[in-house]
Structure 1
Amino acid sequence: MKKIVLTAALGALAVLATAPAFANEDLAKKKNCLACHSVDKKVVGPAYKEVAAKYKGDKGAVDKLATKIIKGGSGSFGPAPMPANPQVSEAEAKQLATWVLGLK
Structure 2
Amino acid sequence: MLGKILGCSLVLSGLMLAAPAHANEAAEKLAKQNACTACHGIDNKIVGPAYKDVAAKYADDPEGLAKVKDSIKNGGKGKWGQIPMPAQPQLSDEQVTLLAEWILGLK
Residue 29 in structure 1 maps to residue 23 in structure 2 = no
TM-score w.r.t. the length of structure 1 is: 0.82
1:40-83 Cα shifts (integer Å, max 9, x gaps):
10011000000000001111111111111111101111111111
Report what 2:45 is aligned to: 42
In the alignment, is the contact (CA less than 8 A) between 1:31 and 1:87 conserved in 2?
Answer: no
User: SS in structure 2 opposite 1:88?
Assistant: coil
After superposition, the Cα gap between the structure-2 partners of 1:93 and 1:16, relative to the gap in structure 1 and judged at 3 Å, is closer
Q: Distance in 1 between matches of 2:20 and 2:89?
A: 30
Residue 77 in structure 1 maps to residue 80 in structure 2 = yes
Identity over aligned residues, as a percent? Answer: 46
2:94 to 88, 91, 96: 91
After superposition, the Cα gap between the structure-2 partners of 1:16 and 1:95, relative to the gap in structure 1 and judged at 3 Å, is closer
Quick one: which amino acid aligns to residue 77 of structure 1?
W
| Cα deviation, residue 17, structure 1 | 4.0
TM-score w.r.t. the length of structure 2 is: 0.80
Q: Distance in 2 between matches of 1:17 and 1:91?
A: 15
Q: What are structure 2's unaligned runs of at least 5 residues?
A: none
After superposition, the Cα gap between the structure-2 partners of 1:36 and 1:15, relative to the gap in structure 1 and judged at 3 Å, is same
Report what 2:22 is aligned to: 19
Q: What are structure 1's unaligned runs of at least 5 residues?
A: none
In the alignment, is the contact (CA less than 8 A) between 2:23 and 2:98 conserved in 1?
Answer: no
Q: Distance in 1 between matches of 2:54 and 2:77?
A: 13
CA RMSD of aligned residues (A): 2.3
Q: Aligned pair count?
A: 102
